[in-house]
Amino acid sequence: MNPSATSSAETSSQQFSPYLVETHALNIQFGAQKVIRDVTLQIRHGQTVAIIGESGCGKTVLLKSLVGLLQPTSGFVLFDQQDLGALREKEIAQLRTRTGFVFQQAALFDSLTVGENIAFPVIHTASHRQTAFPVEEERQQLVLHALREVGLSDSTMHQYPADLSGGMRKRVGLARALILQPELMLYDEPTTGLDPIVSDIINELIMRSRLKHRVTSILVTHDMKTARKVADRVLMLHPLERLSPTESQVIFDGPPSELEHCPDTRVQQFIQGEAGNRMHELNLL
């Protein structure tokens, strides 16, 4: 065998990592308020991770830090082995083109049609990648494919966000995130405020996109049904003000099937409390 080929193969092997996203001793604070403390995570390619915990424990802050939307106070975040803190903003923007983000309130542009909302990342990404802008016909085909993937009719592309139900807006947000076929999908409370039927539809779409595109998914949720159904790994954060300086902020890390058997009373109290909150929400719908 050619020695140079062997060396090249060894270098390639050394460079490969099974983890798409990693954090190391991550700390984030706003002024004097610490929100994330010494969190170290490794998330494998193709894994679906649900982050749960009480309101204010730092779930969304952690989620945003994984794609450089929030900068750590100390520690670092790796995306595909690249330290986000060492990259220029232009380089981070290029990395974000490999991710999709579904926001809690869908975050659609009210003045744009559904089709224009979904096509927005295509145009935005072309400028960051310095590639040619897709022509109108190509954009329209991408939009129609994305709409069909989330179970919406072609005619939806001509509507405006104000014309849609909450569940349809969530699906449009998902279509917009999927249009670039990202490697990493981030979801912030994807089923909050939705009735059980629509929540099940969103959960099915999340699972289908993971299987079809082999995407790595990380979701923040209060919905334990979503966490159990969608995720193969669950992380639970605890508010720092109720932890001693030596306690880990991650109080559970494992498959959803182990949640019920976790001996930590804080985990059990959260699960029972969220079940009660969900029943209350359903009674209000």
Q: Using one digit for the tens of pLDDT, what is the confidence trace for 230-257? A: 999 999 999 999 999 989 999 999 999 9
Instruction: Name the band, by pLDDT with cuts 50, 70 and 90, for residue 278.
Output: low
% of the chain residues with pLDDT over 70: 87
pLDDT at 5 over 80: no
Pair of tokens at residue 9: 């193969």
One-letter amino acid at 265 equals T
Instruction: Name the band, by pLDDT with cuts 50, 70 and 90, for residue 131.
Output: low
Q: Are 118 and 172 in contact (CB under 8 A)?
A: yes
Name residue 74's beta-bridge partners: 27
Q: pTM to 2 decimals?
A: 0.86
Pair of tokens at residue 187: 């979801």
Residue of 204, 199, 231 whose CA lies nearest to 217: 231
pLDDT at 198 over 60: yes
Least confident of 135-139, 153-157, 194-198: 135-139
| Domain 97-183+197-214: CATH class, spelled out | alpha beta
Position 132 scores a pLDDT of 54
Phi and psi at residue 276, in whole multiples of 5°? -65, -40
Whole-number mean pLDDT of the chain? 87
Position 15 scores a pLDDT of 74
Position 209 scores a pLDDT of 87
pLDDT at 3 over 60: no
Higher pLDDT, 67 or 125: 67
Whole-number Cα distances in Å, 95 to 65, 99, 129, 181: 13, 7, 10, 13
For 225-246, b where at least 16 C-beta lie within 10 A, e where not — what string?
bbbbbbbebbbbbbebeebeee
Residue with tokens 């974000």: 96
pLDDT at 27 over 60: yes
Residue with tokens 């003000």: 241
Pair of tokens at residue 223: 């919905």
- Sequence ranges of the chain with CATH classification 3.40.50.300: 97-183+197-214
Residue of 3, 4, 60, 13 whose CA lies nearest to 35: 60
Residue with tokens 């996203």: 21
